[in-house]
Amino acid sequence: MTATSPRTPAPVLVLVPGATGDPSGGGPGYRLADPTVPQLSVTDLVATRGDGVFETIGAFDGSPVNVGPHLARLARSAEMIDLPAPDLALLAEAVDAAIAAHESVAELSVRVMYTRGVEGTGTPTCWIHAKASDDWSPYRAGMKVAVLDRGLATTAAETSPWLLQGAKTLSYAVNMAAVREAKRRGAADVLFVSSDGYALEGPTSTLLVRRGDTFLTTPASAGVLAGTAVATLFAWLREQQGLASGEELMTIEDVKGSDGAWLLSSTRLAAPITHLDEHELPVDAELTARFERVLKGGI
Ligand code: PLP
């Protein structure tokens, strides 16, 4: 039996450094609070089971990028784990409030977390945490990537939907373990490969591959998260540059034989792959800088 759906939406806690927790510091349905003060119950099912979903939105010079697509994906992930639909209008307002309340920084990372809530209550817990982004410049300059087997076939999303491939769940321990394994191998990040031999995605990023003037990514149906950053770049390539883009299943040999590859995400933006294991790939620094401007919301 699954938990019953609540009739009232989860109140949203907006965690911003320096916020006092004063109930007047917020808006209808959300409250600003201090992230350095304990806020989450130890019996929240996200703490005991990793049972929840999330999004990470990038904000550049105070402007968030792709809020609508991120919140729509949050709703899809919530549906995949049978959580009640989140109130997207309230969340969009609370994201803006988080950015407004944070001191002004060039790059802000806004996490939207939505969990199954305290065991036995049936009410989700929801919070938004705004923090200055990590310094991603070393990754944006180019990185070595290790190919690691995810152990699942590209058909897993269809044959075993309970494995939640393509949902952005709060069970990222496996993804983080993969990054540590990459570091042990002298690489900075990971490209997962499926058990049937196809390139998938990174633990926190989408694969982008260049073949001539065509740009390709892994089909979402192969069990990868449908990335917002790759969607932004595809729209720009198509509409502003007149270039082709699309989804294609690619082997690791295809990626190695390509004209360049990147791992994309909303806060790290475009990180070019200099080496896939020991194989060197071409890097176009100018195009990467262009991608970065587009992904920050410019052109
Ligand atoms: N794939 C996975 C597994 C991710 O966790 C992420 C983002 O964190 C992405 C892809 C990239 O998604 P987006 O471009 O929407 O940030």
Query: How far apart are alpha carbons 45 and 57 in whole angstroms?
Result: 23
Read off φ and ψ for residue 2, nearest 5 degrees.
Answer: -95, 160
Question: How many angstroms separate the alpha carbon of residue 206 from the centre of ligand 1?
Answer: 6
Read off φ and ψ for residue 90, nearest 5 degrees.
Answer: -65, -40
Query: 55-82 burial, b if ≥16 CB within 10 A, otherwise e?
Result: bbbbbbeeebbbbebbbebbbebbebbe
- Quick check: 257 and 276 in contact, CB under 8 A? no
Amino acid at 131: K
Question: Looking at residue 44, what DSSP letter applies?
Answer: B
What's the pLDDT score for residue 9? 59
Is the CB–ligand 1 distance for residue 115 below 6 Å?
Answer: no
Is the CB–ligand 1 distance for residue 191 below 6 Å?
Answer: no
Query: How far apart are alpha carbons 115 and 125 in whole angstroms?
Result: 5
- Quick check: 230 and 291 in contact, CB under 8 A? no
> Of 76, 72, 106, whose CA–CA distance to 92 is shortest?
72
Is the CB–ligand 1 distance for residue 55 below 6 Å?
Answer: no
Could you read off the pLDDT tens digit of each residue along the chain, which spans 299 residues? 344 444 455 678 898 887 877 766 787 889 999 999 999 999 999 999 999 999 999 999 999 999 999 999 999 999 999 999 999 999 999 999 999 999 999 999 999 999 999 999 999 999 999 999 999 999 999 999 999 999 999 999 999 999 999 999 999 999 999 999 999 999 999 999 999 999 999 999 999 999 999 999 999 999 999 999 999 999 999 999 999 999 999 999 999 999 999 999 999 999 999 999 999 999 999 999 999 999 999 87
Best residue among 134, 206, 217, 262 to mutate for probing ligand 1's pocket (most ligand atoms within 8 Å of CB) is 206
Supply 273's token pair: 């792959």
Provide the terminal-to-terminal Cα distance of the chain, rounded to the nearest Å.
49
Query: How far apart are alpha carbons 58 and 110 in whole angstroms?
Result: 6
Query: How far apart are alpha carbons 241 and 88 in whole angstroms?
Result: 32
Question: How many angstroms separate the alpha carbon of residue 268 from the centre of ligand 1?
Answer: 10
Best residue among 170, 217, 265, 295 to mutate for probing ligand 1's pocket (most ligand atoms within 8 Å of CB) is 265
Best residue among 225, 236, 294, 296 to mutate for probing ligand 1's pocket (most ligand atoms within 8 Å of CB) is 225
Ramachandran category for residue 16: left, alpha or beta (phi over 0 → left; psi -120 to 50 → alpha): beta
Question: How many angstroms separate the alpha carbon of residue 130 from the centre of ligand 1?
Answer: 18
What's the pLDDT score for residue 27? 79
What's the pLDDT score for residue 8? 53
Residue 225 CA, closest ligand 1 atom number: 1
Is the CB–ligand 1 distance for residue 112 below 6 Å?
Answer: no
pTM assigned to the model: 0.95
Listed in sequence order, the DSSP H helices in the chain are 45-49, 67-80, 88-101, 137-140, 156-159, 173-184, 228-239, 252-256, 285-295
Q: Contacts from 18-21 at CB under 8 Å and sequence distance 24+?
A: 18/103, 19/101
